[in-house]
């Protein structure tokens, strides 16, 4: 049996050497790493070993013997325990540096592009209360509906009312909606037994419009007094213009199901971004930090250096936010997206903003791209904004075959960005610079904009 230098429940005094990419402190015992929540580099701490695994262990801090000058006070440590705000104990200035260094390291280790300039992370003046969307699980605790968030790596619901990083109006609305559902005796979903009714409360609020959407995710379609409940929600929260029931009958961690019903008002809300108005449906992707998204997209637009005769492809186009933001500067915009309701929203958004030089299709980027190449759609600029898994190799191949002059890559995962930039390099495309933008303050997530150009 393999011997480890530590055992479960032992206590040790250690120095924290570094942070993991998720913001946990790292200590080492004969090269064996142990990850410790709420511990910062340079700190001396007494720890208790919680778990010993094959490659690494986990521990918790029992006492801080020496604290880092970069530590900031956390009002509610549940924000660390649940992973809602896992970097909130680190000063904001150092959070921005941590994120820039993460991108730099990946450029060296994964992309093998150590010379690509990674610029200073663009942060927020007020890095709290920025999220325009909340997805909150509901559980029955002592006979009452309880909202909060799951403790990391568990199904224990930690009751939380102030989420710190969400729009405060959303935090208030969660409690109002929960209490209305309690009055109507709506039963909470029980995950283990796959019983009960209400799974999640999802709330979106327009940053500029203040329009609010409430999505009640239920296990069954039949919703006793559903419309009456929706009307009461609107009465008590006048900003609510849309109440939707989303039906998710599966035993799954995925929050939203395929079917939905409008219980009150409209099937969407509207909000503004870079001067255009957008319709946002329950399942549409819309960046959760509106202020920073405007900076992110403006950075992407500046990197693209657009001209009047440019033909633009907006891959992973969502509801059209990037393509429609540049349509007035270019000849034509083509967009693609897999979610049908998002494509409907993109078409509506083009019409709503008087944009006539944009076409949107339903389909996977890696399938639509070769099709457009065959139809001789010759883009000069391609914008890509893929999900966390990054770009499909087929898409990269098809994109390079149509030989755009510039590709602007917006990434929510620097690890897959680094992998994809290495592919582009093999295909004769050069990464000029990367701009990290902090869309998710107090968390370890980071968005980047990379400028990729064709080498002649």
Q: What are phi and psi of 358, to 5 degrees?
A: -145, 135
pLDDT at residue 374, as a whole number: 85
pLDDT at residue 98, as a whole number: 97
Global pTM value: 0.92
Active-site entry in 84, 407, 412, 449: 412
Measured distance CA(29)–CA(386) in Å, rounded: 39
Burial 315-331 (b: 16+ CB within 10 A, else e): bbbbbbbbbbbbbeebe
Task: Say whether domain 133-273 belongs to CATH 3.10.20.440.
Answer: no
Measured distance CA(28)–CA(51) in Å, rounded: 14
Q: Is 297 helix (H, G, I), strand (E, B) or coil?
A: helix
CATH architecture of 11-71: Beta Barrel (2.40)
pLDDT at residue 1, as a whole number: 65
Q: CATH 2.40.50.1070 in the chain, residues?
A: 133-273
Cβ atoms of 332 and 354 within 8 Å: the answer is no
Measured distance CA(438)–CA(85) in Å, rounded: 13
Cβ atoms of 26 and 16 within 8 Å: the answer is yes
Q: How many residues does the chain have?
A: 456
Bridge partners for 217 per DSSP: 200, 246
DSSP output for 33-76: EEEETT--TT-EEEEEEEEE-SS-EEEEEEEEEE--TTB---S-
Measured distance CA(212)–CA(364) in Å, rounded: 30
CATH architecture of 97-124+289-454: 3-Layer(aba) Sandwich (3.40)
**Within the chain, what is the greatest distance between any pair of CA atoms?**
69
194: left (phi over 0), alpha (psi -120 to 50) or beta: left
Active site residue 448: no
Q: Is 105 helix (H, G, I), strand (E, B) or coil?
A: helix
The single residue listed with the structure tokens 């008590």 is 236
H/E element, 295: helix 290-304
Q: CATH 3.40.50.150 in the chain, residues?
A: 97-124+289-454
User: Can you give the pLDDT of all 456 residues of the chain as single tens digits?
Assistant: 678 899 999 999 999 999 998 899 999 999 999 999 999 999 999 999 999 999 999 999 999 999 999 999 988 889 888 989 999 999 999 999 999 999 999 999 999 999 999 999 999 999 999 999 999 999 998 889 999 999 887 888 999 999 999 999 999 999 999 999 999 999 999 888 889 999 999 999 999 999 999 999 999 999 999 999 999 999 999 999 999 999 999 998 899 999 999 999 999 999 999 999 999 999 988 999 999 999 999 999 999 999 999 999 999 999 999 999 999 999 999 999 998 989 999 999 999 999 999 999 999 888 888 888 888 888 999 999 999 999 999 899 989 988 999 999 999 999 999 999 999 999 999 999 999 999 999 999 999 999 999 997
């Amino acid at each position: 049996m393999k011997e480890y230098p530590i055992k479960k429940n032992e206590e040790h005094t250690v120095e924290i050497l570094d942070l993991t990419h998720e913001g946990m402190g790292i200590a080492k015992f004969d090269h064996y790493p142990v990850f410790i929540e709420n511990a910062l580099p340079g700190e001396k701490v007494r720890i208790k070993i919680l778990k010993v695994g094959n490659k690494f262990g986990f521990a918790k801090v029992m006492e801080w013997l020496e604290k880092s000058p970069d530590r900031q006070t956390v009002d509610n440590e549940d924000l660390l325990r649940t992973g809602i705000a896992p970097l909130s104990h680190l000063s904001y200035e150092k959070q921005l540096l941590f994120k820039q260094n993460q991108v730099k390291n990946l450029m060296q280790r994964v992309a093998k592009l150590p010379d690509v300039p990674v610029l200073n992370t663009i942060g927020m003046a007020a890095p709290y209360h920025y999220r325009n969307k909340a997805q909150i699980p509901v559980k029955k605790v002592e006979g009452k509906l309880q909202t909060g968030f799951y403790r990391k790596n568990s199904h224990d619901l930690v009751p939380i009312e102030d989420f710190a990083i969400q729009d405060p109006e959303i935090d208030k609305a969660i409690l109002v909606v929960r209490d209305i559902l309690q009055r109507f005796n709506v039963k909470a979903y029980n995950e283990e037994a796959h019983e009960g009714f209400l799974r999640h409360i999802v709330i979106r609020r327009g940053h500029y419009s203040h329009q609010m959407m409430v999505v009640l995710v239920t296990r069954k379609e039949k919703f006793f007094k559903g419309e009456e409940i929706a009307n009461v929600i609107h009465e008590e929260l006048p900003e609510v213009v849309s109440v939707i029931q989303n039906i998710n009958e599966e035993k799954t961690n995925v929050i939203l199901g395929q079917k939905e019903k409008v219980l009150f008002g409209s099937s969407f809300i509207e909000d503004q971004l870079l001067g255009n108005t957008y319709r946002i449906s329950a399942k549409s992707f819309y960046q959760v930090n509106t202020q920073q998204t405007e900076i992110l997209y403006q950075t992407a637009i500046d990197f693209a250096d657009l001209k009047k005769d440019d033909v633009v492809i907006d891959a992973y186009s969502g509801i059209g936010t990037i393509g429609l933001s540049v349509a007035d500067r270019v000849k034509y915009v083509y967009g693609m997206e897999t979610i049908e309701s998002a494509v409907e929203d993109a078409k509506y958004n083009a019409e709503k903003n008087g944009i006539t030089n944009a076409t949107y299709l339903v389909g996977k980027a890696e399938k639509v791209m070769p099709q457009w190449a065959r139809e001789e759609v010759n883009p000069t600029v391609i914008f890509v904004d893929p999900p966390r898994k990054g770009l499909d190799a087929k898409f990269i191949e098809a994109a390079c075959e149509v030989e755009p002059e510039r590709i602007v890559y917006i990434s929510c995962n620097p690890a897959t960005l680094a992998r994809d930039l290495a592919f582009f390099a093999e295909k004769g495309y050069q990464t000029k610079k990367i701009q990290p933008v902090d869309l998710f303050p107090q968390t370890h997530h980071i968005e980047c904009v990379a400028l990729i150009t064709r080498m002649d």
